[in-house]
Amino acid sequence: MSNRNIKISEGEYYHIYSRGVDKRDIFLDRDDYERFMKLLFVANGSNSFVFRELPTSSVYKKFDRGEPLSSIGAYCLMPNHFHILIKETKENGISMFLRKLLTSYSSYFNKKYNRTGGLFGGNYKARHADNDEYLKYLFSYISLNPVKIIDADWKENGIKDRESSKKYLKNYRYSSYQDYIGVKRDEGKSLNVIDFPEYFSNPKEFDDFINEWLVFNDVKNDT
């Protein structure tokens, strides 16, 4: 589960993504999504864990994960892949975190669905966010991914229904979007936004930022 396509350097930001093997779905029900989201918090720490022994109803409050291995700025889970915007805060931290995350989730998934073999399609991929413009853009790219579920070709053809897309995003629990628009929930503990530039000083600024992208693609649909 290691990354080999680029070098990961301490203090730098990366867009991490991985798909299911043969593009298969890796989240089949609500429990799958929630397990992965809890692992985003639990696995991103120096302490070891056995998931079945964790206080599942309050894992974000009662589990001491130790020193964080990396800092997550944004994430999104899709039926057959995931995206994470992450910062390397200690040497090999991202690699250690992803090894724990993907190994634990794959073991859970294979046991639950009585399957064997790798769940993810090879090594995870990483793209270096090496400039401010691209880093800020990733917050919109990752947050807007769920629109594909209801409008698969929106990037190519523009948004069909901007209001419906916005409503869908606000109700989509399996990303960091809700945390940025001000929803108070335990899942927000997986984020460490202090390690990222302060692009959005309040929920309205983030909401306006996302709306600009939706408007842009809505306009594109009319041209």
Domain containing 128 — which CATH number? 3.30.70.1290
Residue numbers of the domain that contains 79: 13-222
Question: 2 lies in a domain?
Answer: no
Helix H segments across 45-116? 59-62, 93-112
Cβ-contact 12, 21 below 8 angstroms: no
CA–CA gap between residue 157 and residue 76 (Å, rounded)? 22
Q: How confident is the model at residue 75, as a pLDDT?
A: 98
- Residues linked to residue 14 through DSSP beta bridges, in sequence order: 86, 128
The Cα–Cα gap between 107 and 86 comes to 23
Residue 43 forms part of a structural domain: yes
Count of domains observed in the chain: 1
pLDDT at 161: 82
Looking up tokens 């070098």, which residue turns up? 7
Q: What percent of the chain has pLDDT over 90?
A: 74
Residue 87 falls inside a structural domain: yes
Domain assignment present for residue 185? The answer is: yes
- 6 belongs to a structural domain: no
Question: Given a cut of 50, is residue 221 above it in pLDDT?
Answer: no
Dump pLDDT digits (tens) for 163-212.
888 999 999 999 999 999 999 999 999 999 999 999 999 999 999 999 98
Q: 7 in a domain, yes or no?
A: no
Q: Would you say residue 220 has pLDDT above 60? A: no
pLDDT at 5: 63
Percent of the chain with pLDDT over 70: 93
In a domain, 158, yes or no: yes
Average pLDDT score over residue span 54-71: 87
Cβ proximity of 158 and 219 under 8 Å: yes
The reported pLDDT for the residue numbered 217 is 63
- Residue 222 pLDDT exceeds 80: no
The whole-number pLDDT of residue 55 equals 73
In a domain, 3, yes or no: no
Segment 15-21 mean pLDDT: 96
Return the SS3 of 144.
helix
